[in-house]
Amino acid sequence: MTAPVQVSPQVARARGARQRGSAMADAVLLIIGACFLLPLLWLVFGSLDAAAGHGTRVPQQPVLDNFAAVLTPDLLFRPLWNSVLLSAGTGTVTLAAAVLAAYPLSRYRSRFNSPFMYGVLFGTCLPVTAIMVPVYGLFVQLQLLDSLPATVLFLAATSLPMAIWMTRNFMDAVPLALEEAAWMDGASRMAALRTIVLPLMRPGLGVVFIFVFIQAWGNFFVPFVLLLSEARQPAAVSIFSFFGQHGAVAYGQLAAFSILYSVPVLALYVIVGRGSGAALALSGAVRG
């Protein structure tokens, strides 16, 4: 038999205090967590309630009627498809421009690097909502209003500063030695970038793409101002007309639509959050 480990009274007291503290912390956290879930209750209950209003109540008989009602091409599929085009387009353009820009910034030493990176960082601080009025003016003059590609380019420009910053950090982590070996074998710099560097930073590129995609998917103000015709509007904007313009609001359908529209980004966040929650957190830095 081993002798019981002697615990000094001081340590025992500290442990007791820590356990009490832990129970308190659990309780306070659970209360705060419940408060954060409360506003979401309405979405869940309302979507399952055939006669939902803006009050929250447990549906007497949960039904999927609301989901069935919004599953039409005009209400759901076309806006969602527009959202996919907008977000995937923005992600692709942003990633391409960011990778190209990050390469020299990561691989060469120059007086250009530091001011450029600080300029980029300053760009992340711009309140994008503040430039929507001038952007509208610019789009009118360039006759780009209601153009999906132009909106994609604008969204790409707004997410580019953060994307360049992140991509360069990921690229810095790829050792130069691997590339040098490829140059020895006669590969050009761009070929080495494509065949050596990019495959190695695939997880990082995935994070950047998904991050930009989520931002574009959730953005309301930019397409609200720049895309005018219903046929081109993404779900974020069509959902708003659902809410405001059709007179009596079908709250149950609104809730169902909201859930269907949110699920893709929630899923993407879970995918990224598994591996690199911190990266996403810090890159979410400025969402204007």
Partner 1 sequence: MPATHRARQVARYLPVLPAILLLAVFLAGPVLWAFHASLTNAGLTGRNARNPQWVGLENYQRLLQDPVFPFSVGLTVVFVAGSAILGQNLLGLALAVLMRRARPAVAATVGTAVVAAWVLPEIVAAFAAYAFFSRDGTLNQLLGAMGQPGTDWLYAVPMVALVLANVWRGTAFSMLVYRAALGGVPAELSEAAHMDGAGPWQRLVFITLPVIRGSIATNLMLVTLQTLAVFTLVWVMTAGGPANASTTLPVLAYQEAFRFGDIGYGTAVAVVLLLLGAVFGVAYLRLLREQRP
Nearest residue (CB) to partner 1, 204 versus 214: 214
Residue 66 contacts residue 255 (beta carbons within 8 Å): yes
Q: Which is it for the CA torsion 190, 194, 195, 196, positive or negative?
A: positive
End-to-end CA distance of the chain: 65
Give the residue, chosen from 75, 145, 157, 187, that forms a contact with partner 1 under the rule CB under 8 A.
157
Of 78 and 159, which has the nearer Cβ to partner 1?
Answer: 159
Region 256-285 residues binding partner 1, contact defined as CB under 8 A: 258, 261-262, 265-266, 269, 273, 277-278, 281-282, 284-285
User: Which residues in 74-103 contact partner 1 (CB under 8 A)?
Assistant: 93, 96-98, 100-101, 103
Least Cβ distance, residue 267 to partner 1 (angstroms): 10
Using the minimum distance from each CB to partner 1, give the nearer residue, 96 or 181: 96
Torsion of CA 45, 36, 235, 265, to 10 degrees: -110
Nearest approach in angstroms of CB 79 to partner 1 is: 12
Are 208 and 92 in contact, with CB atoms under 8 Å apart? no
Closest approach of Cβ 178 to partner 1, in Å? 19
Q: What's the farthest any 2 CA atoms get from each other in the chain?
A: 88
Interaction residues for partner 1, span 54-73 (CB under 8 A): 54-57
The CA angle 112-117-120, to the nearest 5 degrees, is 125
**One symbol per residue from 5 to 44: x for binding partner 1 (CB under 8 A), - otherwise; what is it?**
---------x---x--xx-xxx-xxx-xxxxxxxxxxxx-
Query: Rounded to the nearest whole angstrom, what is the least distance from the CB of residue 2 to partner 1 in the complex?
Result: 27
Closer to partner 1 at the Cβ: 209 or 217?
Answer: 217
Smallest distance, Å, CB 202 to partner 1?
19
Residue 82 near residue 235 (C-beta atoms within 8 A): yes
Examine residue 104 and tell whether it contacts partner 1 (CB under 8 A): yes
Binds partner 1 (CB under 8 A): choice among 67, 154, 165, 211: 154
> Smallest gap, in angstroms, from Cβ of residue 99 to partner 1?
8
Q: Catalogue the long-range contacts made by 272-278 (C-beta closer than 8 Å, 24 or more residues apart).
A: 272/206, 272/207, 272/210, 272/211, 275/203, 275/207, 276/203, 276/207
Distance CA 128, CA 287 (A): 8
Map the footprint of partner 1 across residues 106-145, applying CB under 8 A: 108, 110, 112, 116, 118, 120-123, 125-138, 140
For residues 136 and 222, what is the distance between their CA atoms, to the nearest angstrom?
A: 9
